[in-house]
Amino acid sequence: EFHEWCDGVRAAKTKNIKEAAAQIVQLKADIDSAEADAEALANENAELEAAIAKAEAEAASATSIRKKEHTDYMAEHKDLSESVDAIQRAVQVLKARSP
């Protein structure tokens, strides 16, 4: 009877060990897969951060160019407005002098 009990316990333990070994293999495979995914995501993240930095630099450059163009436009607009005003005053003076 003790021998039967030992055989039953041994069979159960052997089964448990095989199941645990299979689970260890599966978990190691899951870990390897997760590590590969993490590495791929880290690489993708680095690429996206580089793309963001490039886009931000391009936006800053474009903003700087627009500010300079606006400043140039405003200076030219002021100059042309003053010229138009001077021409209008000259026309009025000439009209006033002509008979």
The whole-model pTM stands at 0.59
How many structural domains does the chain have? 1
Whether 49 shows a pLDDT value over 80: the answer reads: yes
Six-digit token pair at 15? 């089964």
State the average pLDDT over residues 14-37.
98
Q: Which domain range does residue 31 map to?
A: 1-98
Q: How high is the pLDDT of residue 1?
A: 86
Whether 98 shows a pLDDT value over 90: the answer reads: no
- Summarize pLDDT for 52-81 with one digit per residue, the tens: 999 999 999 999 999 999 999 999 999 999
Neighbours of 16 (CB within 10 A): 10
How many angstroms separate the CA atoms of 68 and 77, rounded?
14
Six-digit token pair at 10? 């041994």
How many angstroms separate the CA atoms of 47 and 52, rounded?
9
